[in-house]
A and B are shown apart, each in its own frame.
Chain A
Amino acid sequence: MTDPTQGATHDRATVPPLLQLAGVSKSYGGSLALDGVDFELRAGEVHALLGENGAGKSTLAKIISAATAPDSGSVLVRGEQVDFDKPASASAAGVAMVYQETSLVDAMTVAQNLFLGDAKFFNRLQQLNVDARYLLESHNFHIDPSVLVRGLGAAQKQMVEIARAVNKSATIIIFDEPTASITPEEKQQLFLTMEHLKAKGVGMIFITHNLEEALSHADRITVMRDGVVQLTEDAAKMDRDGIVRQMVGRAVEYAPKVTLRTTASEPTLEIDNLTVAGVVQNMSFSAYPGEVVAIAGLVGAGRTETAMVAYGALKRRRIGGGTVRLNGKAVRFRTPRPAIRSGLAYVSEDRKAYGIFSDQTIDDNIYIGYLGSRRRLPLISTRRRRRSVAEGLVKRFAVRTLDPTKARLVELSGGNQQKVVLAKSLTRKPSAVIFDEPTRGVDVGAIQEIHSFIREYATQGVAVVVISSYLPEVLALGDRILVARNGRVVAEFAGDEATEESIMFAAVH
Chain B
Amino acid sequence: MAQIETASRARTADGLSLRDRLAQIDQGILIALVTLVMVAIGAVLVDGFLTGDNLMTILRASSALGILAVGSAIVIMAKGVDLSVVVVTALTAQGAVHLWTRNDFSELQALVVMGMVAITIGVINGWMVAYVGIPALFTTLGMWLLVDGAARVWLLDNQVYILPADSNVVTDLGRGELFGIPFPIVAATVAFLAGWLFLEYTSQGRLIRAYGDNPEAARLAGIPTRPLVVLTFVICAGSAAVAGVLLLGINGSYSTAYGGGKDLLFNAITAAVIGGVSLTGGKGSIFGVLWGTLFIGTFVNLMTLLNLSVEVSSLLKAAVLVVALAFDSWLHPRDEETAKSDDL
Contacts and interface: CB of A to CB of B under 8 A. Distances in A.
B223 A371 contact: yes
B282 A62 contact: no
Given A31-B12, A382-B201, A346 B220 contact: yes
Interface stretch (B68-76, B87-95, B187-195, B334-342): B334-342
A256 interface: no
Interface stretch (B110-118, B207-215, B256-264): B207-215
A503 B219 CA distance: 34
Interface residues of A, number: 59
A100 interface: no
Interface string B15-29: 110001001100000
B14 to A, nearest CB: 8
A144 B305 CA distance: 70
A168 to B, nearest CB: 12
Given A31-B8, A32-B12, A445-B1, A354 B216 contact: yes
Interface stretch (A270-278, A336-344, A489-497): A336-344
Interface in B218-247: 218-224
Contacts of B282: 357, 359
A367 B209 CA distance: 13
B204 A377 contact: yes
Contacts of A88: 343-344
Contacts of A29: 20, 23-24
B202 interface: yes
B223 A379 contact: no
B202 A357 contact: no
B220 A341 contact: no
Give the bracket for the number of chain B residues in contact with chain A.
Answer: 35 or more
Contacts of B341: 67, 86-87
Nearest to B204: A377
A372 B221 contact: yes
B11 A31 contact: yes
Contacts of A71: 15
Contacts of B6: 402
B177 to A, nearest CB: 32
B162 interface: no
Contacts of B220: 311, 313, 336, 346, 348, 354-355
B175 interface: no
A116 B205 CA distance: 46
A183 interface: no
B336 A381 contact: no
Given A88-B344, A336-B219, A400-B2, A32 B214 contact: no
B217 A356 contact: yes
Interface of B: 1-2, 4-9, 11-13, 15-16, 20, 23-24, 201-207, 209-210, 213-214, 216-224, 282-283, 336-337, 340-341, 343-344
8 contacts: A68-B340, A336-B219, A346-B220, A355-B220, A371-B207, A400-B5, A402-B6, A445-B1
Interface of A: 27-32, 35, 62, 67-68, 71, 86-88, 226-227, 248-249, 311, 313, 335-337, 339-341, 346, 348, 353-360, 364, 367-369, 371-373, 377-382, 386, 400-402, 413, 416, 424-425, 445-446
